[in-house]
Amino acid sequence: MAQSEPAKSAQPKRRRPLEGVRVIDLTKIVAGPNATRMLATMGAEVIRVEWHDQRALDLLRGVQPKAPGGEADSFNRSGLFNNINPGKFGITLNMSLPQGRDLFKRLIAKASVLCENYSPGQMDRWELGYDTLRKINPGLIYLQISGMGKSGTYKDYLSVGPTAQALSGLTHMSGLPEPMPPAGWGYSYLNHSTGYYGAMHVMMALLNRRKTGRGCYIDLSQTEVGVMTSGTATLEAQMTGKPTERHGNRMPVADWAPHGAYPCRGNDEWITIAVQTDGQWQALVAEIGSSDWARDARFETAAERKANEDDLDRLIAEFTKNEDRYDLMHRLQKRDIPAGVVQKADDRLTRDPQLKERGAFVPLPHSEIGTWPVEDFPAKFQNMSVEVGGRPGRAAPCMGEDNDAVYRDVLGLTLEEIAQLKEDWII
Amino acid sequence: MNTEAALSAALGGTVVIESGDERGEFAGVLLASFGAEVIRLEGRQGSNSRRLGPFASSQSDAEQSLCFWRYNLGKKSVSLEVDHPGARDVLKRLGQRADVIIDSGEAADVGRRLGLYREMQVSNPGLIVCTITPFGLDGPYRDLKMTDLTQLAMGGVMASCGYDPQPDGLYDTPPIAPGMWQAYHITCEHAVIAITAALNFRERTSEGDCIDVSIHEAVSTCTEVALPSYIYNERVVRRQTGRHAGLAKTPPWLRRTKDGRYVKAFLFWGGRDVRVITEMLNEAGIEHNLDSDAYRELSERSPSEAHKNFSGLIDTLVASMTAEEVFHRAQAKGLLWASVRFPEENIDDPHYQARGTFKTIHRPGLDHDLAYPVSVATDGKQRVTTFQFGAPHLGEHTQEVLGQVGYNEAEINALTAEGAI
């Protein structure tokens, strides 16, 4: 799906929401880079700081899927990395050397924001904790993302997205009722949402700094993001004293039925239907047509449909199983019944006219792999310039791609000095 | 810990008017947690979420909905029928006072009100208007009827969540929509990012903006590797029980514990993990052959068979302990494992108590206070966001808020009589 279209043209810099904000990005994998992705999209100058030995490398640079062709061991071909890191500048810096850490401090002196998600204690071991860095730059906003947070009983516990999802309660809440096990989330949802909260907190801190003149330290916990998004479960359990249960795709808090995913014609093709009112039910009965069961008294009212939901779901599935999923969705929608196809990635990319018309996938150039679609920010703006290609107007940076430009323009180094730093394995 | 750090006042002095239905309510909650004054406009019958359970009492009372309490924490309530002709002047005056307007619902309804919001921006050019609709304000799907479930389906989340297929590769279980309101969470988080960016923009330019947030697009950006897998390799991930959807079947993560619960016990098959798990097996007194020549020979001859054997030993290890024991012992040895907790089990956990993740909020008339999740971060000492009060009663702040924009008691009574409030 490589494309040849150029990136969107750059808007006047005045329209960028975060014009004048420089972010030093020491993040890895998805949660941290997703936070800085948002900041780059909003116009911040995000400088991604990396190093290429095995211990320091962002593992995401090596994961599948990779753009076809090229050298197998290239750090620049991961499609997931490209989708998570567009709009950023990329430099290399060997933080394990004192000279590298000195350069890092010089970058911090010129920055507004630092984002990092190293393992517990790493920045302190380098003597680069917030208390040190704030002396260099009192206005610095320091976002530190970790699985459990940097304080509390679990501050030294290790976590990745699925760990945080399990502990927060999100895994338990997703799936069919017991005796089935939890289905959980089929990906690291909390890597995405922790990034959202990271960006949100940084931008709040920028507003706060305008008012107070002060920077701040933000110790963001991925697990707590999961707790925050656990809906009404904690409240209900406190009221009832009963543990939270799973409900599959059913609606546990209202008499909405049918409410689920139903099989359609083909292999693993599904449609979701969510009937919220008696009117929608009557419309569904009309669409089903001549089947007597649909007019059964057991399904006449919302309360009765809810009480007989097992039978109802079985009969709806009998109706849907020979239907084409998109055709059925459009027929149901014509009758104002909420219904949506369970779209897979190929459906979203090739069969979804809405995402296409709204430009949800932006072709962005990459210096090694060419132009590929990148997911855009999911909103349109009338006034501001918000572009997923960010200030460089491109997809993710290659490793160290912007060394010369950044060290020259931000730190004022000469090309000779930069060459020497490369020679000394510092950048 | 009961105090809050400065970010909880980052939006102090910022007035947010929130209209529409349940789709946008979480955005207002997040803005309130940073100190914004969020004024929820509800029709005379109250927000949709007041009619959604669970309820605090056996009656489905509009004042007893836990759904409303959760998603309207820290807001003020003004009773106003926004589409009533008499509400127009009220909205205009509120728009003069507001920094942000959030409106959510069907695109046709929100779009109808957009003209009025644009009029407000003429006299208040710094006003930020954010609409939240199923597909955005344009496009061929603009008017499709949607719910949280159908949005999670269309946006691609459900295609990655669920259970393993049968041995023949066919699925006998449906894709799963993780509960609850996750499409709206994802969307509202993006809406708040957009609004906060706009507030930063306004600081520099004094200009507002109109932001058109699409729930469909927001959900579609939140499926991790699913889209890149197709974009780059034209391959589609398949859902698996309790672990990431993948292109090929992966070993199980979920394992059952002695107390009938689950843990997520990953198997990375690295040398360090094998050594640590061997230690744990020894400590638990579980017989194994992991350090035998026979096992080493098996590992070389048939890695998959050795892997299966190893995974079985982990099952035995996990089954010998409670979920919490597994969690703490594994973490003490540097494994990324966790117990699969019920969300409410975190409320009394000393870790979250120390970090101030939850805050107990009193509601008059309720015989015990409820702990709400209020913060995802600290400043190193204390939580950074919070709520000063719980969800409002229907119309609780109508007099106060309308008084602030110049209505006297007689005028408010007249608006009530004509059905606008």
Decide if the complex's ipTM is over 0.95: yes
In chain B, residues with a C-beta closer than 8 Å to the C-beta of A248 are 174, 176
B77 versus B289: the higher-pLDDT residue is B77
Name the pLDDT band for A9 (thresholds 50, 70, 90). very low
pLDDT in the model for residue A120: 75
Q: For residue range B10-65, list pLDDT tens digits in order.
A: 999 999 999 999 999 999 999 999 999 999 999 999 999 999 999 998 888 899 99
Q: For residue range A325-354, list pLDDT tens digits in order.
A: 999 999 999 999 999 999 999 999 999 999
Question: Which residue range is the domain that position B47 belongs to?
Answer: 6-223+350-417
Contact assessment for residue B103 and residue B74, using Cβ atoms and an 8 Å cutoff: no
Interface mutation vs chain A, best among B224, B339, B366, most A CBs within 10 Å? B224
Backbone angles phi, psi at B64, to 5 degrees: -120, 10
Q: How many CB pairs under 8 A join A and B?
A: 522
Check pLDDT > 60 for residue B1.
no
Name the pLDDT band for A11 (thresholds 50, 70, 90). low
Based on the domain organization, do B140 and B169 belong to the same domain? yes
| C-alpha distance from B412 to closest chain A C-alpha (Å) | 34
3-state helix, strand, coil in chain A (%, to 5): 40, 15, 45
Interface mutation vs chain A, best among B58, B122, B149, most A CBs within 10 Å? B149
Predicted structure pTM score: 0.97
pLDDT in the model for residue A220: 98
Based on the domain organization, do B129 and B93 belong to the same domain? yes
* CATH number of A199's domain: 3.40.50.10540
| C-alpha distance from B233 to closest chain A C-alpha (Å) | 7
Number of domains in chain B: 2
Tell me which residue of A71, A11, A77, A61 sits closest to A41, measured CA to CA.
A11
Tell me which residue of A19, A22, A202 sits closest to B207, measured CA to CA.
A19
Span B301-313, average pLDDT: 90
pLDDT in the model for residue A53: 85
pLDDT in the model for residue A61: 96
- The verdict on residue A286 lying in a domain is yes
Interface mutation vs chain A, best among B200, B266, B348, B358, most A CBs within 10 Å? B200
Based on the domain organization, do B170 and B284 belong to the same domain? no
- The verdict on residue B230 lying in a domain is no
Span A390-406, average pLDDT: 98
Name the pLDDT band for A302 (thresholds 50, 70, 90). very high
Q: Enumerate the β-bridge partners of residue A145.
A: A220
Based on the domain organization, do B215 and B316 belong to the same domain? no
The structure tokens listed for A176 are: 């069919």
Contact assessment for residue B187 and residue B124, using Cβ atoms and an 8 Å cutoff: no
The interaxial angle of helices B303-319 and B293-301, nearest 10 deg, is 130
Check pLDDT > 60 for residue B349.
yes
Q: Enumerate the β-bridge partners of residue B358.
A: B373
Q: How far is CA B171 from CA A259, A339, B163, in A?
A: 19, 21, 8
Based on the domain organization, do B192 and B323 belong to the same domain? no
- The verdict on residue A38 lying in a domain is yes
Long-range CB contacts (< 8 A, 24+ apart) of A404-409?
A405/A89, A406/A47, A406/A89, A406/A91, A407/A91
Span B237-242, average pLDDT: 98
Is the torsion defined by CA of A174, A176, A179, A184 positive or negative?
Answer: negative
Name the pLDDT band for A13 (thresholds 50, 70, 90). low
Check pLDDT > 80 for residue B270.
no
pLDDT in the model for residue A2: 58
Check pLDDT > 80 for residue B313.
yes
Based on the domain organization, do A167 and A65 belong to the same domain? yes
Q: Which residue among A217, A261, A382 sits closest to B380, beta carbon to beta carbon?
A: A217
Q: For residue range A222-266, list pLDDT tens digits in order.
A: 999 999 999 999 999 999 999 999 999 999 999 999 999 999 999
B70/A210 CB distance under 8 A: no
In chain B, residues with a C-beta closer than 8 Å to the C-beta of A130 are 380
Element (DSSP H or E) covering residue B377 = strand B377-378
Q: For residue range A112-138, list pLDDT tens digits in order.
A: 999 999 887 889 999 999 999 999 999
Number of domains in chain A: 2
B156/A217 CB distance under 8 A: no
- Final residue in a domain of this structure, among B287, B319, B339: B339
In chain B, residues with a C-beta closer than 8 Å to the C-beta of A227 are 343, 346, 352, 357-358, 373, 376
The structure tokens listed for B315 are: 């099952």
| C-alpha distance from A344 to closest chain B C-alpha (Å) | 6
Based on the domain organization, do A308 and A368 belong to the same domain? no
Based on the domain organization, do A225 and A279 belong to the same domain? no
The structure tokens listed for B204 are: 């520099």
Tell me which residue of B355, B185, B372, B29 sits closest to A219, measured CA to CA.
B355
B150/A272 CB distance under 8 A: yes
Check pLDDT > 80 for residue B364.
yes
pLDDT in the model for residue B296: 87
pLDDT in the model for residue A8: 46
Name the pLDDT band for B350 (thresholds 50, 70, 90). very high
Residue showing tokens 């569904």: A284
- The verdict on residue A2 lying in a domain is no
Based on the domain organization, do B102 and B190 belong to the same domain? yes
Share of chain A above pLDDT 90, in %: 93
Span A25-46, average pLDDT: 97
Taking a contact as any Cβ pair under 8 Å apart, which residues of chain B between 164 and 223 contact chain A?
165, 170-171, 173-182, 185-187, 189-194, 196-201, 203-205, 207-214, 216-218, 220-223
CB neighbourhood size of B113 (10 A): 19
Q: For residue range A57-98, list pLDDT tens digits in order.
A: 999 999 999 999 999 889 999 999 999 999 999 999 999 999
Q: For residue range B127-165, list pLDDT tens digits in order.
A: 999 999 999 999 999 999 999 999 999 999 999 999 999
Tell me the C-alpha distance between A45 and A49, whole Å.
13
Q: How far is CA B239 from CA B169, B176, B234, B263, in A?
A: 11, 9, 17, 19
- The verdict on residue A236 lying in a domain is no
Question: Which residue range is the domain that position A151 belongs to?
Answer: 13-229+353-423
Tell me the C-alpha distance between B28 and B39, whole Å.
9
Span B345-350, average pLDDT: 98
- Final residue in a domain of this structure, among A321, A344, A367: A344
Tell me the C-alpha distance between A262 and B247, whole Å.
23
Based on the domain organization, do A35 and A140 belong to the same domain? yes
Q: Enumerate the β-bridge partners of residue A125.
A: none
Check pLDDT > 60 for residue A3.
no
